[in-house]
Structure 1
Amino acid sequence: MNTSIPTNGQLERTLSQRIQALYRDELGHRTGKITCSLCGSKAVIVIEDSITQPEQILAKEGQTTLAEEVRSELDDAIQPRLKQLIEEVLNVEVIDLLSDATLETGRTGIIAVLKMEPTVRASSATQRLKTRAPL
């Protein structure tokens, strides 16, 4: 068995950790929980508490339009680095990256459309299920 090929779960964890580091290093912002799910040739990412302090202050002061513009500009600025990070972790080309954030909930949702499914090895739990005899 080749253990150098990561499992689905390992890729999802690595992607979550690297995205969290990207937000911290590039935006100086500590996000909340990041959930990544690989679904065939798509990666679905939800970032909790993704709204930065300046955006929160603008929204709280009634400057919602300006806060949304700042969020949009930040998303545009970070998107190339996010795309590169996803490609590095999954070792697959990202052909489209869709994202949106909600000021009210502080969440960002991202869908990365991949050129193909990432190569993963079956987890030990999956292996055990496949080797079980039918009931």
Structure 2
Amino acid sequence: MNSETQTRGQLERTLSQRIQALYRTQLGQQPSRVQCQIFDGKVVIVLEDSITKTEQVLVASGQEDLAEQVRDDLDKAFNPQLTELIREVIGIEVVDVLTDATLKTGRMGTIAVLADTPQFREPQATRKLRSDASAEDTE
């Protein structure tokens, strides 16, 4: 996918949807919400309710350390797929992925550092506003 043919919002929505689908197919569940923001050569991803049932059971039984280890192992196994998905959607290589989760809240955050800053198509409304402002300047 070429990021220059889509707006930032379109890419962020596509990425969010694809990440939810990846969680569903790989882990058998999906986060309740996935938010993606692309800026300055980085993609920030926040997932709500991303903790697996296994992790929840471990936390509830007082085995937080084991739950953290399971989360770390899942991240290591999952990050190559996430990296490829980001590269596919945005069209730019990912050079680093930083991930952390909070088992108590079920939230997970990921920062993907891109090899370059994506270029986006400007939304129609923004172009129209700028065109209108330029026309007023020439009057």
Q: Shorter-chain-normalised TM-score: which range?
A: over 0.9
Displacement over 3 Å in runs of 4+: none
Q: Distance in 2 between matches of 1:92 and 1:114?
A: 6
SS at the partner of 1:132?
helix
What SS does the aligned partner of 2:116 have? coil
Partner of 2:110: 110
Question: What does residue 51 of structure 2 align with?
Answer: 51
- 2:10 corresponds in structure 1 to 10
Partner of 1:88: 88
- Tell me which residue corresponds to 2:40: 40
Taking the aligned partners of 2:32 and 2:75, their CA distance within structure 1 comes to: 17
In structure 2, the residue matched to 1:119 is 119
Instruction: Supply the distance in 2 between the matched residues of 1:46 and 1:129 (Cα, whole angstroms).
Output: 31
Residue 101 of structure 1 deviates from its aligned partner by 0.5
Show the counterpart of 1:71. 71
Provide the TM-score with structure 2 as the length reference.
Answer: 0.90
TM-score for the superposition, normalised by structure 1 = 0.93
Q: Distance in 1 between matches of 2:40 and 2:126?
A: 16
Q: What is the aligned length?
A: 132
How many angstroms apart in 2 are the aligned matches of 1:28 and 1:21?
10
CA RMSD of aligned residues (A): 1.4
More helix by share: 2
Identity of aligned residues (%): 53
- What residue is the counterpart of 2:22 in the other structure? 22
